[in-house]
A = this chain, B = another copy of it.
Amino acid sequence: MKFLDIGEVAEKSGNKPSALRYYEEAGLISSVSRHGLRRQFAPEVLLQLKLIAMGKSAGFSLDEIAGMFGRNGMPDLPRAALHAKAEEIDRRIRELTALRDTLRHVADCPAPSHMECPTFRRLVDMAGKRSGKRAKMAKPKTGASRDY
């Protein structure tokens, strides 16, 4: 059978065995058997790990990632949920785009103070629009912050 030893998976995926164990623990991947003590993985795990890497780089927590791609296989959630995630990523992309453009502008704009450059302010405002409350604000309801 063409199962992969954890070592191979580690090497091919760029994760350390300890990270793979941690992911298994966290329910993100699962090993199919053991060879002696060594975990053996199905080859699909490499794809899953790629998805996990993408999710991490996208700023999602392992829990959220587990939420996108079912614990023991491929995504199988309600379409709506997936679309919602996609929307979330879209928002993130827009922020990133604004940040990137801001950086580029700043690199090239000759204005003495960026604070007074309308282009700069416009760019920064881009991301601020429709802010509401997003991103991670821990778990408490942290509404208008009372500080303690």
Contact of A59 (CB < 8 Å), options: B10, B57, B114, B144: B57
Which residues 63-120 of A sit at the B interface, judged by CB distance below 8 A?
68, 74-75, 79, 82-83, 85-86, 89-90, 92-93, 95-100, 102-104, 106-108, 113-115
Which residues 28-77 of A sit at the B interface, judged by CB distance below 8 A?
44, 47, 50-51, 53-59, 68, 74-75
The verdict on A142 contacting B16 (CB below 8 Å), with A55-B99, A115-B74 known, is: yes
Contact of A145 (CB < 8 Å), options: B11, B44, B108, B142: B11
* A133 on interface, CB distance cutoff 8 Å: yes
Residues of B near A124 (CB, < 8 A) are 47, 50-51, 54
Residues of B near A25 (CB, < 8 A) are none
Q: How far is the CB of A131 from chain B (nearest CB, A)?
A: 8
Copies of this chain in the oligomer: 2
B89 touches A128 (CB 8 A): no
Interface size on A, residues (CB 8 A): 57
Residues of B near A147 (CB, < 8 A) are 10, 16-18
A17 touches B59 (CB 8 A): no
A127 to B47, CA, bound (A): 11
* A135 on interface, CB distance cutoff 8 Å: yes
A97 to B58, CA, bound (A): 9
Q: How far is the CB of A81 from chain B (nearest CB, A)?
A: 8
